[in-house]
Amino acid sequence: MRKRIATIVCVLHLSISAVTMAAKDVTRPVITVDATGPMRPVSPEMYGIFFEEINHAGDGGLYAELVQNRDMEASAIPEGWRAEGDQVFTPKGWRTRKWFQDDLPGWSFLAEGGAEGSMAIDANHPLNDRNPHSLRLTVTKMGSRCGLVNSGYWGINVQAGEWYDAAFYAKTEGSKGVGLVFSLENEAGDKVCARATIPEIGRGEFGPPQPGAANAPAQWRKYTLGLHANASDPKCRLVITPIEPVTMWLDVVSLFPRKTFKDRPNGMRRDVAQLLADMKPGFLRFPGGCIVEGVTLHNRIRWKDSIGDISQRKGDFDLWGYYNTYGLGYHEYLQLAEDLGAEAMYVVNVGMSCQGRCPEIASGADLQFYVQDTLDALEYALGPATSEWGAKRAANGRPEPFKLKYVEIGNENHGPNYERHYKVFYDAIKAKYPQAITIADTRMPQMPVEIVDDHYYVDPARFFSMANHYDNADRNGPSIYVGEYAVNRGVGTGNLLGALAETVFMLNMERNGDIVLMCSYAPLFENVNQRDWPVNLILMDGSRCVGRSSYQAQKVFASNRPDVVLQTQVQAPEVKLAGIGIVRRLYALAGLDARAGEVIVKVVNPTPSEVPATISLKGLSKLGDKAKVVTLAHANANAENTMDNPNVVVPVESEMRVPAAEFAATFRANSLTVLRLSAAVERR
């Protein structure tokens, strides 16, 4: 019998046997699960996601737009700010690196075979007051080809067989009619993956120049065209060339893959959004983060500038160091939450800009402006199509209200100003939307606080030391949402050890599911071409995306979330982990998935050696004799998934026999293991 089991061990990396074989080993960890003891609920929304425009998470990431700086506004410095050298200063003197190198980031002028002409940003021919800059292209000598190149966000991913939809606004000098060629070509320019021509722009219904102004441009007009790819290249560029000399203006030049997540127009990249869907998120927190606060109050996320036709949106400098088009806006977030089957959680500016940067505090009538802004946002999401903002939602294609369950009042705000503002926002929100569940940034014993948002960015040692953090949390205080957490110190750009430390902390949150209702890792995304934050959950470039080990751990937890946790005792000796400190050899938690009729045991072994242990299940009947096993492990704690090696640390499924209610199992070095076996709670 023992011999046979030893064979299984080799295959499954998880051994089982009659427990008696190791009964005398006092250092052997014992995990005792007692279903006769009190149980605590775990919210179905426990594991969610937090999206913020950081590391090009949206523009150049999740948001499927392929053209960089489509609105020609990426070099616009906000009103009142000033640039000096490579720095930009806000009116109050907060400074940042100038986020653009030239007037038209993403765009360059193309002149081949003796062509002559120029390209320039132009503030004299605004498309509308929200898009004051356009691109003027002048071609004086055709040569072999002359026009514009857009680099996309570090290249445009083009796949053979797929369609790409371009849309743009243009006008020509003197209403001259001219054909335009759009092509998607590789970087070297020697492979054309897709090409399409618009026979004529500029002339037509918007007609002749004004009398007495022979060279005056005609009016702006929108054009669309589809490009079908017959070759693939992940790093194409978009080339736009007129077929004869012309002076023309372009603005809001957009290119989307026809296939987006759930086929939404102005939608999300399918591959990236699918990674989110695979996390089975209970909620989606948006749109930030610090960008909700802004470096000035005007620089906060202005949701009203992020809705409607993309030509009417007014982007802004994103305090993480680049221009945010607002293409992925308030409506899209609400839609995405719905498409992911997640509850929407909207974070609102509370009349305070980022306190860690350069705080501005609104007061009096100004504060009312921010309160009203929030109420309008809620009306946009929840109001009937007959209401002012509900009507705008309907005009944007969504007559019926969205679901918006949670409203977070501020992000990481604190102090007396916050407390005062919080109360004003809380009262206003609850008066009009009593069903909205509010979240506060800090504990305020004198205030009505439903849920408080805790944030942790730590090193591995800290999360190991927080294995019991919420055990004694005040059950009479507010519920807890851990809105941002990650190991982002001492782990380079992320590694398995960091992920395992996070799982130890997650076991603690799950064990205290009666008070810790929700949690979300942060930040969610990193475009590997621009990292603004040291460690992020999902890495991507224009054509690929990969979940780090922490992503895999998140997925394993969300897919194995119990409805209730069972009393779980772990007797495990402590060991010293090099470079970290003292950890336990095993951490564990068991729970019940009532619908599946299964007991779920999650076990973390953060040590570099395998750990044989005993599991004892009490108070459970109808125990299955087999367990499904999911193991996330690697022999090297520094292992990590990368763009080129995405499957270094991924969950592996197997099966093991469970001979009795007490059984032996060996947990791999550096591992998270989940055992699921059918079980019912014995009648009490």
Report the 3 state secondary structure along 375-396: HHHHHHHHCCCCCHHHHHHHHC
**626-646: buried (b, 16+ CB within 10 Å) or exposed (e) per residue?**
ebbbbbbbbeebebbbeeeee
Strands (E), 636-681: 652-657, 662-667, 671-678, 680-681
Least gap, CB of 485 to ligand AHR (angstroms):
10
Least gap, CB of 513 to ligand AHR (angstroms):
24
Least gap, CB of 50 to ligand AHR (angstroms):
7
Q: How far apart are CA 587 and CA 675, in angstroms?
A: 14
Cβ atoms 141, 245 nearer than 8 A: yes
Q: How far apart are CA 504 and CA 550, in angstroms?
A: 12
516: which DSSP letter?
A: E
Interaction between residue 348 and ligand AHR (CB under 6 A): no
60, 202, 281, 288: which one binds ligand AHR (CB under 6 A): 288
The one segment of 222-230, 282-290, 298-306, 504-512 that binds ligand AHR by CB under 6 A: 282-290
Question: Considering beta carbons, is residue 526 or 598 the nearer one to ligand AHR?
Answer: 526
Interaction between residue 52 and ligand AHR (CB under 6 A): yes
The one segment of 38-46, 108-116, 284-292, 657-665 that binds ligand AHR by CB under 6 A: 284-292
Least gap, CB of 455 to ligand AHR (angstroms):
6
Interaction between residue 261 and ligand AHR (CB under 6 A): no
The one segment of 163-171, 285-293, 335-343, 643-651 that binds ligand AHR by CB under 6 A: 285-293
Interaction between residue 411 and ligand AHR (CB under 6 A): yes
289, 390, 562, 612: which one binds ligand AHR (CB under 6 A): 289
What does the per-residue mask of binding to ligand AHR show for 479-498, with x meaning CB under 6 A?
A: -----x--------------
Task: Name the nearest CA neighbour of 403 among 370, 438, 436, 449.
Answer: 436
50 CA to centre of own chain: 6
Question: Considering beta carbons, is residue 292 or 589 the nearer one to ligand AHR?
Answer: 292
Query: What length does the chain have?
Result: 684
The one segment of 283-291, 395-403, 474-482, 507-515 that binds ligand AHR by CB under 6 A: 283-291
What are the structure tokens assigned to 61, written together?
């990431």
Least gap, CB of 521 to ligand AHR (angstroms):
9
Cβ atoms 675, 627 nearer than 8 A: yes
Q: How far apart are CA 408 and CA 301, in angstroms?
A: 14
Least gap, CB of 486 to ligand AHR (angstroms):
8
Least gap, CB of 286 to ligand AHR (angstroms):
12
C-beta nearest to ligand AHR: residue: 289
Phi/psi of residue 60, nearest 5 degrees:
85, 15
How many positions of this chain bind ligand AHR (CB under 6 A)?
11
Interaction between residue 290 and ligand AHR (CB under 6 A): yes
The one segment of 287-295, 357-365, 546-554, 657-665 that binds ligand AHR by CB under 6 A: 287-295
Interaction between residue 651 and ligand AHR (CB under 6 A): no
Phi/psi of residue 458, nearest 5 degrees:
-140, 180
Q: Do the strands 564-571 and 587-593 form a parallel or antiparallel pair, or are they unpaired?
A: antiparallel
Least gap, CB of 305 to ligand AHR (angstroms):
19
Task: Name the nearest CA neighbour of 142 among 165, 112, 166.
Answer: 112
Residues 6+ apart with CB under 8 A from 187: 155, 233, 235, 236, 237
Interaction between residue 607 and ligand AHR (CB under 6 A): no
Ranges within 518-537 binding ligand AHR (CB under 6 A): 522-523, 533
Q: How far apart are CA 41 and CA 246, in angstroms?
A: 68
Which residues sit at the interface with ligand AHR, rule CB under 6 A? 52, 54, 288-290, 411-412, 484, 522-523, 533
